[in-house]
A and B are shown apart, each in its own frame.
Chain A
Amino acid sequence: MQPIRYVIVGNGAAGVTAAETIRQHDSVGEITIISAEPFPMYSRPGLAYVFLNEISKEQVFARQPEWYQQMRLNLLFGKAVSLDVDRQAVQLEDGRILPYDRLLIATGARAVPPPYAGADLKGVHYLDTLAGTKELMKQAKRRRRAVVVGGGITALEMTEGLAHHGVDTHYFLRRDRLWGKVFNDTEAKILEGRMRQQHVHIHYNTEAVEILGDRRGRVRAVRLKDGKEFKCNLVGIAIGVRPSIDLVKDTPIETDRAILVDETMQSSVRNVYAAGDCAQVYDPWTEQHMLDILWPSAVAEGHAVALNMVGKHRAYKKGSPFNACLLFGLHISTMGQINPRRDEDEPEIHQYLSRGSSEVWYTYPRHYASAWAEEGDNTIRLVMDGDYLVGALLVGDQTIADPLRYIIENRVNFREIHSDFSIGGLALKRSVQRFWSKSNQSQAESYLNP
């Protein structure tokens, strides 16, 4: 029998996990990974730590070239530009044609440019790719005043990085609340306090409508909605991402916001699969196809798609989306469905999903109740659907993060501690801990109180 030819477009978390998993199950198949970026795989979330000088640029590479050789993965640098699903072949920009038996599209998502004039001026930056991050770091050394626009983690990471580089950093908020799609007022205030300690200026209800340049094509200011100009020489943009699905544009492959896949991660066309940021996957919580821009989701999907590509039909069940991050020294974790409201009047551009988030977080098929506790800079927010926990957000103390995640993912009946939800502060935390250790006995004890 001929070895199966697997072609994977994209060398990120989803593509590389898939390649590795395929190799574990098929020792003879020919596996080719096409990468538009001329590097071995690097950690995209790690770019924020490169920018903060917490790691070197070399350290961000999660795989070395030798690893590809050991795994017998053929890594090709080049951009896939067209796809012929009848002849089962992918064409690269340089003309090379790669026939496939199974194709995985794992092209990820890219930052969207601002919807107003001035996006191509020198001094407009994104925290999106390794090349872009290197350029941003070079410019941060020279620039004195920066404006950051955008509402999610990436915007905050960019703000933190710029402040760390000693740039006079101004963060523009369209409304009056930080990370408004996820945080409530108290959570936002805590993070704002941390940002101020690091000398970030937060401008509420402030919206840029144009980036202005000088004669040499460099940023000199942004124009605000009220017509005023705000002087700056660097603009950081992180208003969201758009799945990279150009490759399937002229094919019958069905798309919505991203490539639609069934429970085997296959697209509407046979032998073409998708995973990671460019795939829209059925979500059992919201009963819709949902987009996650999350590393763990990309890894889980990469793993699941590989099993199906090697012929081990395994239905993929999307887990509850989870993210843990560290912003301005504050640990924050987000899981399940947590947003108390959705802004129906948001203009489309602001509906782009930001990196490190999931649509599931903002989608409310039913009416939910919530519980809340705060104690200094530590907060707990629980979202309940009847007797079940469907979402949680923790700021600061993360002791109960894993138990909560387990309770959500496994739909553990939570009714027992319903009556404790009106109590606040540490009592709520203890109540969750007690509930958890009771259902897990000694094993959980050692886990929670090491």
Chain B
Amino acid sequence: MAKESFFRTLFKSASQDADQDDQQADLAKVGCVVPDASRCVQCGVCGYNCPVGIQVRDYAHRGLPVDDPRCITCGNCINVCPRGTLRWETQAHELLKDRFLLTADLQV
């Protein structure tokens, strides 16, 4: 998919020692995998299918966007999740988080 390879190039070009905040800002711009914590049953199917071994389940548990710089945006985790917990989000995480995450205040 053209969209995905675009993301990939963008991630590759991000220099390794780039400021963490900058990287996160980039991710926020192009998007990343975002969970709906209230749907997640912690089954681990997502992480099991992640080619780079990110434990997506831990993000889903806390209701946080998967901002791991190793993410190659392949979308596997989104496709395999049996509960429809994960989606690709290009913007507005913050707004959606308030709306859909019942456990949002767990993050404090």
Contacts and interface: CB of A to CB of B under 8 A. Distances in A.
Interface of A: 13, 20-21, 24, 43, 45-46, 49, 54-56, 59-62, 295-296, 299-300, 303, 319, 322, 324-326, 331, 333, 398, 401-402, 406, 443, 446-447, 450
Nearest to A307: B105
Given A43-B44, A319-B102, A446 B38 contact: no
B42 interface: yes
Interface of B: 36, 38-39, 41-45, 47-48, 57, 61, 80, 82-84, 87-92, 95-96, 99-100, 102-103, 106, 108
Contacts of A300: 38, 102-103
B43 A24 contact: no
A401 B87 CA distance: 13
Contacts of A24: 106, 108
Contacts, number: 82
Contact of B91 (A55, A295, A446): A446
Contacts of B90: 446, 450
B102 A296 contact: yes
A121 B89 CA distance: 51
Given A326-B83, A446-B90, A406 B100 contact: yes
Given A21-B106, A450-B88, A55 B43 contact: yes
Q: Which of B44, B83, B96 has the most CB of A within 10 A?
A: B44
Nearest to B88: A450
A296 B42 contact: no
Contacts of A446: 90-92
A445 to B, nearest CB: 10
Contacts of B82: 49, 324-326
A13 B43 CA distance: 11
Nearest to B107: A24
A270 B90 CA distance: 48
Contact of B45 (A55, A325, A401, A447): A55
11 contacts: A13-B42, A24-B108, A43-B41, A49-B45, A55-B44, A59-B44, A296-B41, A300-B38, A303-B106, A324-B82, A402-B36
Contacts of A43: 41-44
Nearest to A67: B58
B44 A443 contact: no
A331 B103 contact: no
A292 to B, nearest CB: 13
Given A46-B45, A49-B82, 14 more contacts: A45-B43, A46-B42, A49-B45, A55-B43, A61-B44, A299-B38, A300-B103, A322-B39, A402-B100, A443-B92, A443-B95, A446-B90, A447-B92, A450-B88
Contacts of B84: 324, 331, 333, 398, 401
